[in-house]
Amino acid sequence: MAKLAVDQAARMLYRYNLPHEKQRPRNLSKLNDPSTWEKRRLKGKLAVQKMVVNLMELYLQRMRQKRPPYPKPVEMDQFTAEFPYEPTPDQNQAFIDVEKDLTERETPMDRLICGDVGFGKTEVAMRAIFIVISAGFQAMVLAPTVILAKQHYDVMSERFSNYPDIKVAMFSGAQTKEEKDELITNIRNGDLQIIVGTHAVLTERMAYNNLGLLVVDEEQKFGVQQKEKIASYKASIDVLTLSATPIPRTLYLALTGFRDASLMSTPPPERVAVRTYVSGFSKERALSAIKFELARGGQVFYVVPRIKAIDDVLQFLKDFLPDVPMAVAHGKKVSKNIQLAMEKFACGEVKILVCTHIIESGIDIPNANTIIVQYAELFGLAQLYQLRGRVGRSGTEGFAYLFYTDKSLLSKIATDRLGAIEEHSDLGQGFHVAEKDMGIRGFGSLFGEQQSGDVANVGIDLFFDMLFDSLSKVDQFCLVPVPYKDVQLDINISSRLSSEYISYLENPVELLNEATKAAEKDLWTLMQFTEDLRRQYGKEPRDMELLLKKLYVRRMAADLGISRIYSSGKTIIMKTNMNKKVFRLMREAMSLETHRNSLSFTGKEIKGELLVNLPDSLLLNWLFHCLADCYAVIPALVKY
């Protein structure tokens, strides 16, 4: 047993498992043999450093893009004043962040607006849209479902109704070919300024006149292909991502600075916390909840996890409430039918909407203030949190009834989920729910499966501690290139070309000067030179190949911070300004095991241990392939 002073315990002890983590406790390391723990800690640290490198790479890709800042619209103050509610401090700050991104920076915006359900993210997005459209550009608003897209279309049509020059259109798979063709023509001609839709707006047929802004709602709910298409837009236009899916506060803070993000955690003043009840299913209780809501003039969401359960629920409700108008919504219905059902529900014609979790994202029906979720044990915690957020959005107290089938059949995970959603029923509890969710589902949902294991090796608190530490020391992951002319390659290979090849070239002296200038500029220019040479003269002979390899080795060495390369027996020595952290990351990521195993780092030298003495030409060939392997795994660090 280890004894710690009271004043040291808080600094030296970390949570290992999260509360409610589903995995069984891991084997603890022995105090008399810390080597096992050190290996775990080192593995976790390397995982953190990889995360930081990936973040840097994304950051660098964005920073390389340029566009002129947008002018601040003359009517911006008027547009802001037309917002019918008092904005929260977080809303104001989020808009200040977005406005600075658009009007003061030359790099395209890539900002995440993360906020609880119903906290006003859409208004921030509409103000960003107003800035971009006022400068003569178009905006695309992308939503994962037809229901949410239709709601965005309705809200934006109303919000921009005082500005006749701003035209809003909706594009979805439910429209006829003629309707789509007409919309595509109007979009291409610039007659439409705001285009709202599902992934249908990402079709190859869609050609924009002057697209400036993409607003993505709940990006994590799109498929892989759609996400790749969204990522391709980030290279050239401004992107604003909205998310009501809560993330842990610690992760949010750790990522701030690399991913531009604005956090909205204060509820609007008129919002009231939703009362949450968790219990076994009871027909009497479900009917009582519905009758109470209908008696006060409201409407009800009745949610089930699977489409096949809808018919039974519908029959049960019709048996006991035959005169109450009802509608059905689920993902397998034709989009037009879903839209029609939602329109009837929104206008109050339908009183009960029986549906799947299709309504979990962004649906705002002010008069619907009771939600019943049957088979609640089959939903995820984040889903339950989002579903509960559909009610209580208008200042009227909302009620959420989460019914499970049989308590004796509930798994521990399901019990923990339902307990967590019942416990965290106050407004703005998204972060607490996210931490619980991470504990229940494990870390894979946040970090991916590989990092999940690395987090588990050291525990969540220590992992985040190392992440903070690595981000604060990010400059230590950077390489400082050296000038090409300063790279000394001490390998005795003649730079003379054969007389036969010289006579074959049109202007050999000028061509060799071009090769040197290309190498001095950058690797891409040298590669272009090589392609042009081969296109004009065919594959180069051995002597020209060696000359080119010398240029390539010096160019890659310069970018990798290597100032001198020489050999001593079976050892190749490279003098470098690279630090050990970068070397370790680089070596671990190298594709060829022979290169990875031969390299070591001592002081300011990278050493390559060969099995045999090589002649200079083969030594140059080994260097060329080894440095190419090194260069390929750290392009972001080279350019940072």
SS3 label, residue 61: helix
In this prediction, residue 26 carries a pLDDT of: 55
3-state secondary structure of 606: strand
Question: Cβ(145)–Cβ(329) under 8 Å?
Answer: no
Q: How far is CA 591 from the centre of its chain?
A: 26
Length of the chain: 640
Q: Could you tell me the CA-to-CA distances from 45 to 114, 119, 591 in Å, in that order? A: 28, 36, 21
pLDDT of residue 460: 59
For the ranges 61-70, 261-270, 372-381, 425-434, the lowest mean pLDDT is seen at 425-434
- Check if 76-264 and 484-639 are the same fold: no
Helices (H), 577-615: 580-589, 593-598
- For the beta carbon of residue 321, count every other beta carbon within 10 angstroms: 17
E strand intervals along 330-440: 352-355, 368-374, 399-404
Rounded mean pLDDT, 287-311: 93
Helices (H), 135-214: 146-159, 177-189
Q: What is the pTM of this model?
A: 0.61
Task: Please report the pLDDT score of residue 447 as a whole number.
Answer: 46
Ranked by mean pLDDT, the top range of 5-9, 200-204, 295-299, 393-397 is 295-299
Interval 452-476 mean pLDDT: 61
pLDDT above 50 (res 254): no
The number of angstroms, rounded, from the C-alpha of 587 to the middle of its chain's C-alpha atoms is 27
Q: Which residue, among 595, 597, 581, 598, has the nearest Cα to 630 in the 3D structure?
A: 595
What confidence score (pLDDT) does residue 266 get? 80
Angle formed at CA 241 by CA 118 and CA 423, multiple of 5 degrees: 40
Separation of alpha carbons 380 and 433, rounded Å = 11
State residue 95's pLDDT score: 94
Domain covering 484-639, topology: Aspartate Aminotransferase, domain 1 (3.90.1150)
Closest by Cα among 495, 458, 478 to 48: 458
Q: How many CB atoms lie within 10 A of CB 286?
A: 20
Q: How far apart are CA 458 and CA 45, in angstroms?
A: 9
213 neighbors 129 (Cβ within 8 angstroms): yes
Higher pLDDT, 467 or 441: 467
Secondary element (H or E) of residue 284:
helix 283-295
Look-up: residue for tokens 């002597």?
543
Using one digit for the tens of pLDDT, what is the confidence trace for 157-188?
Answer: 999 999 999 999 998 777 788 888 888 899 89
pLDDT in tens, 5-30: 545 544 444 444 444 444 555 566 66
C-beta separation of 433 from 248 below 8 A: no
In this structure, is the dihedral angle defined by the CA atoms of residues 451, 457, 460 and 466, taken in order, positive or negative? negative
- Pair 422, 416: CB distance under 8 Å: no
Per-residue pLDDT, 53: 64
Whole-Å CA distances, 101 to 93, 112, 256: 12, 12, 15
> What average pLDDT does this structure show over 327-332?
85
Q: Say what the pLDDT of residue 639 is.
A: 44
- Over 90: is that where the pLDDT of 289 sits? yes
Whether the Cβ atoms of residue 260 and residue 109 lie closer than 8 Å to each other:
yes
Q: Match domain 275-430 to its CATH number in 3.40.50.450, 3.40.50.1820, 3.30.70.270, 3.40.50.300.
A: 3.40.50.300
Is residue 361 scored above 50 in pLDDT?
yes
Q: How confident is the model at residue 520 (pLDDT cuts 50, 70, 90)?
A: very high
Question: What is the second-level CATH architecture of the domain 76-264?
Answer: 3-Layer(aba) Sandwich (3.40)
- Residue listed under structure tokens 């200040």: 96
Task: Please tell me the distance from the alpha carbon of residue 457 to that of residue 460, in angstroms, as a whole number.
Answer: 9
CA dist 186 and 171 (Å) reads 12
* Per-residue pLDDT tens digits for 492-507: 887 788 888 888 888 8
Residues 208 and 140: their CA atoms lie apart, in Å, by 9
Lowest mean pLDDT among 99-108, 231-240, 459-468, 568-577: 459-468
Conformation bin of residue 482: beta by default, left when phi > 0, alpha when psi is -120 to 50? beta
**Is pLDDT above 70 for 585?**
yes
- The residue assigned the tokens 């690595």 is 470
Q: Indicate the average pLDDT of the chain.
A: 81
pLDDT in tens, 191-244: 999 999 888 888 767 788 899 999 998 876 776 677 767 777 766 789 998 887
Distance CA 462, CA 43 (A): 12
Q: Where are the domains of the chain?
A: 76-264, 275-430, 484-639
* 15-29, 31-45, 242-256, 565-579: segment of lowest average pLDDT: 15-29
Neighbours of 526 (CB within 10 A): 22
Q: Per residue in 46-65, pLDDT tens?
A: 666 666 666 666 566 666 67
CA angle 64, 70, 266 (to 5 degrees): 90
> Three-class SS string for 411-434?
CHHHHHHHHHHHHCCCCCCHHHHH
In this structure, are residues 548 and 530 in contact, taking their beta carbons and an 8 Å threshold?
yes
